[in-house]
Amino acid sequence: MSSPPSPERKASLRLITAQADKIRQKLDPKVLERARCVAEGGEIYDKAAAQKVVTEFLRSKSRADGGLFHEELKARLKGTRH
- Give the pLDDT confidence of 14-54 residue by residue, as tens digits: 999 999 999 989 988 888 888 888 888 887 777 888 888 88
Whether the CB-CB separation of 68 and 74 falls below 8 Å is answered with no
Percent of the chain with pLDDT over 70: 90
Name the maximum alpha-carbon separation found in the chain: 76
Q: What is the pLDDT of residue 16?
A: 96
Q: What was the pLDDT predicted at 81?
A: 57
pTM exceeds 0.75, yes or no: no
Please state the domain extents for the chain.
7-39, 47-77
Q: In the 8-state DSSP scheme, what is residue 6? A: P
Q: Which DSSP string do the residues of 27-61 spell out, in sequence order? A: S-HHHHHHHHHHHTTPPP--HHHHHHHHHHHHT-T
What does the alpha-carbon distance between residue 49 and residue 58 come to, in Å, rounded to a whole number? Answer: 14
**What is the structure's pLDDT at 10?**
94
**pLDDT at 62 (0 to 100):** 65
Of 29, 48, 32, nearest to 40 by C-alpha is 32
